Amino acid sequence: MKLYRFLTGPDDATFCHKVTAALNKGWHLFGSPTYGFDQASNAMRCGQAVVKDVEGQEYTADTKLSDW
pLDDT > 90? residue 8 = yes
Burial class (CB in 10 A: 0-12, 13-18, 19+), 50: buried
Residue 65 counted as domain residue: no
**What integer pLDDT is reported at residue 65 of this predicted model?**
87
pLDDT > 90? residue 1 = yes
Residue 68 counted as domain residue: no
Residues 9-52 pLDDT 10s: 999 999 999 999 999 999 999 999 999 999 999 999 999 999 99
Domain count, the chain: 1
What's the whole-number mean pLDDT along residues 1-13? 95
Residue 67 counted as domain residue: no
**What are the distances in angstroms from CA 3 to CA 15, 20, 42, 47, 66?**
20, 17, 32, 17, 10
Q: Specify the pTM.
A: 0.85
In the chain, what is the straight-line distance between the N-terminal and C-terminal CA atoms, in Å?
11
Q: Which domain holds residue 29?
A: 2-56
CA–CA separation, 15 and 40 (whole Å): 18
Residue 12 counted as domain residue: yes
